[in-house]
A and B are shown apart, each in its own frame.
Chain A
C-alpha cells in the first residue's frame, strides 16, 4: 500500500501542479506577513485563504487527479490487490502531497512570523480541512463516472460548505431568533467543517468580541480541553465518513 502511495505521489509531483500550488501559498503567505505591519492582520487574511481556497483546491485537485489516473486505477485493479487498498493508497498519496504543499506554503511562514496560539490554530484547521475535503472529493468522484459531473458535484459541494450553508444558518438564526439558540449553534457548527475550523481560529483571534453571551458559551466549550477534543473528533468524522462511503461504493462499483 505504501509503495502504491509512493507511485501516486511521484505521479502528482511530476505534473507540477502541486508545486505551483505550494509556491502560490508560500508567496501569498510570505507577502502578507511582509505587507501588514502586525502579524494578526496577516493571519486574518490567511484565514480566508485557509477557509476558502484550501477546500476548493483540495476538492478540484483531487477530483481531476482521480479522473486522470482512472486508467492507472483500472490497471491496478487487474492486479491481485484489494480495492480498499487501492483507493486508500490513492487517498494517501493525494493527501500527503496537498498537506506538504500546505505545510511548506503556509506552515513555514506562519512558524516564522507568528508562532503563537492563533498560528497553530490556523495550521490545525488548514490540515484538518485539507484532509476532510480530499476525502469528500473522493466520495464525489467515485460516485459519478462522468468527469464533468464529478467536478461539477465537487464544486457544488464547495459552494454548499463555503457559502450556502452559512446563508441557511443565518436564515435559521433569524427565523428562530425568539428562542434560545446558543446550544443549537454548537450543533450547527459541527455540521460544516469550514465553520467548525473558523470558530476554532476565531476563539483565539477575536476573544474579546466573543466574550459576549454567545461567545462565553463558545469560550467555555471550545476553549476548554473538551472543545479541542470535540473539534478534533468531529473533523476526524468528517474525514473518515466520506472516505468510508467512497470505499464502500468503490468496492461495489462496476468499473
Chain B
C-alpha cells in the first residue's frame, strides 16, 4: 500500500512539476549550467556524483536541484558557487566546497537574493567564506545542512547561515561550526530557529539584530568565542536551548542588549563565564531555566527594568547574580538557589527569609577584576558575611523574597 502511494505520488509529481534532467560525468548533459539553461520552470535536475567546477552557477527559474551522495560543487576558492534569485527553488543533498573569498563582497557557497519559497535541505558546505547567505527572501527553509568552516580570524571568515531582511524563515536541524557567527539574523522577522547545533564559531553561535517576533527553540550553542548575542529586538521567544561552555572575558551564554517583551524559558546554561548578560533590556520573563556551574549565572546591568526572574534553578555557580549599580528595577521570586541557607518554619517549601543573590565580592570584582585572585579566601568569606549582616555595597532590594527550599523539577 505504501509503495503504491509512493508510486502514485511520484507520478503525480512528475506530471504536475515537469521533467527531470539528469546531469552527470557520463551523461549527455555534463554541465549543470547547461542543464539549468535547458530547464523550464518546475523541472527537476538530478545531479549525479562527481566534482563540478563551473564557477558561479545562477538559478533564476523555479527548479529543484537534487544531488547524490558525492555530488560536489567546487568553487576553486575563486567563485560564489550557487546564486539563486527566484521563486520555488529547492536544493537538496549536495556538497559545496571552497567558495571564494572577497574582502569587498560577501561571497557565499549558496546565496539567495530576492527569493520566495526556497528550500535548502541536507546539503554539506565546507570551507566557505559565507556558507549560506540569504537576503530579502520570504519563506526560506534551511533544514538539515552541515556547515563546516575553517576558523581563521573574524575578518577572514564569514557567517554560517546569514539572513538579512527576510521573513518567515525556518532554520532547523543544521549543524554549523567554525564560522564567524554560526547563525546571523539582521532585520529578520517571524522566523523559527529550531534544533540546530552551533559550535566552535569564532564569534557568536547565534547573532541576532533588529529581528522581531522570532522564536528559537531546542538549539545547542556550545563553545563559541562569545556565545550568543541577541540585540535590539522585540518579542523574541527563546525556549529549551542549551548554552554551554562559552568561555572568555566577554563570552556569554546569551548577551541581551536592548531586548524587550521577550521570553526565556526552559533553557540550560552550563559552564559559561556569564550565563545571561542583560543590558538595557525590559520586560523579559526569565523562568524555569537551569543555571549550572557558570562563573556568573546572571549579570543584570542597572539599565534593565521590569524583568522578572522566577522558578529558575541556580546550582554550582561561582556567583549567582552580578550587577553594576544599586538601582534595581527587576524582580526575583521563587527561584532555587543552592547558596541559600535560610529556613522554612511553616514547611510550605518556601524559605522564610529573603535571599540576596548578589554577594559583596561579585560587586568588588565588577569594579576591579584582578581581585578575582582572592576569591574563596578566608578574608573574602568574612567580608561577605559582614556584608550580609550590615549591607553597604550590595543593592538592598535585589532579593528573592520567596526562595524555594528544594530544587525545582524542570
Contact = CB atoms under 8 A, between A and B. Distances in A.
A216 B248 contact: yes
A169 to B, nearest CB: 6
Nearest to B296: A209
B276 to A, nearest CB: 13
Interface stretch (B98-106, B113-121, B193-201, B377-385): B377-385
B370 A173 contact: yes
Q: Name, among B295, B296, B380, the residue most crowded by chain A CB atoms within 10 Å (CB to CB).
A: B295
A216 B369 CA distance: 12
B375 interface: yes
Given A169-B374, A198-B377, A208 B293 contact: yes
Q: Name, among B271, B293, B381, the residue most crowded by chain A CB atoms within 10 Å (CB to CB).
A: B293
A202 B378 contact: no
Interface in A187-241: 188-189, 194-195, 198-199, 202, 206-216, 218
A181 B372 CA distance: 12
B375 A202 contact: yes
Interface string A5-28: 000000000000000000000000
Contacts of A188: 373
A213 B369 contact: yes
B224 to A, nearest CB: 13
Q: Name, among A41, A177, A208, A214, the residue most crowded by chain B CB atoms within 10 Å (CB to CB).
A: A208
Interface string B314-339: 01101100000000000000000010
A209 B293 CA distance: 9
Interface stretch (A45-53, A135-143, A247-255): A45-53
A47 B249 contact: no
A163 B272 CA distance: 31
Q: Name, among A48, A162, A167, A215, the residue most crowded by chain B CB atoms within 10 Å (CB to CB).
A: A215
Contacts of A214: 369-370, 372-373
Given A163-B378, A202-B375, A208 B370 contact: no
A206 B378 contact: no
B247 interface: yes
Contacts of A202: 375-376
A47 B378 CA distance: 10
B295 A185 contact: no
Given A209-B318, A210-B295, A216-B248, A198 B376 contact: yes
Contact of B378 (A41, A51, A174, A185): A51
Interface of B: 247-249, 251, 271-273, 293-296, 315-316, 318-319, 338, 367-382
25 contacts: A38-B315, A47-B376, A48-B378, A48-B381, A162-B378, A163-B379, A163-B382, A166-B374, A173-B371, A177-B368, A182-B370, A194-B377, A195-B374, A202-B375, A207-B247, A207-B271, A208-B247, A209-B294, A209-B295, A209-B296, A210-B372, A211-B273, A212-B248, A213-B249, A216-B249
Q: Which 8 pairs between the two chains have the least Cβ-Cβ distance?
A: A209-B295, A209-B318, A211-B247, A208-B295, A166-B379, A213-B249, A206-B318, A185-B373
